[in-house]
Amino acid sequence: MLRYWGNEEQTRQAIDAAGWMHTGDLATLDENGYCNIVGRIKDMIIRGGENIYCVEIEQRLVDHPSIADAAIIGVPHPSLGEEVKAVVQVEAGESLTEDEVKAWVAETLANFKVPAYVELTVDKLPRNASGKLLKNVLRGEGEVSFAETM
């Protein structure tokens, strides 16, 4: 890939002077040398020096029988840097409280990963045509554009 179509600023951010593309993916290498994509740099929350990978909390949330879908985003915090917020789509006909969501996460994950804020909705979470969560929309940073749904 040479550049982003019609977006020179995004091209400068993604492709360095030597021509290497920085995808923004977070990955681990296992003992056999296999690369495993575990998330996106933009989706990592740094809370008081702790790195929190959103996908880990999202996977825990969707294991709950009353949760249809979930997204984790970082929200600004004056002293911690960021705090964890869950946006949770409740299954049709089910009921759930913010405290129940927090308790569910706390059963298996560390305290600093438990969402400080929980937003419950019955509406579907915004996703593009390939199923990727549009976290910029959840953060209030934009609308779902035509390009994101292609």
pLDDT of residue 142: 60
Q: Are 40 and 25 in contact (CB under 8 A)?
A: yes
- Assigned CATH for 43-149: 3.30.300.30
The reported pTM is 0.75
What is the separation, in whole angstroms, between the first and last Cα of the chain?
Answer: 18
Q: Are 83 and 77 in contact (CB under 8 A)?
A: yes
- Contacts (Cβ under 8 Å, ≥6 apart) of 119: 85, 86, 87, 88
pLDDT of residue 140: 82
Q: Are 24 and 41 in contact (CB under 8 A)?
A: yes
DSSP state of 142: -
Q: What angle do CA 125, 130, 136 make, to 5 degrees?
A: 45
Instruction: Tell me the mean pLDDT per 10 residues along the chain, length 150.
Output: 82 83 79 82 85 92 98 94 96 96 98 97 91 86 52
DSSP bridge partners of 26: 39
pLDDT of residue 150: 39
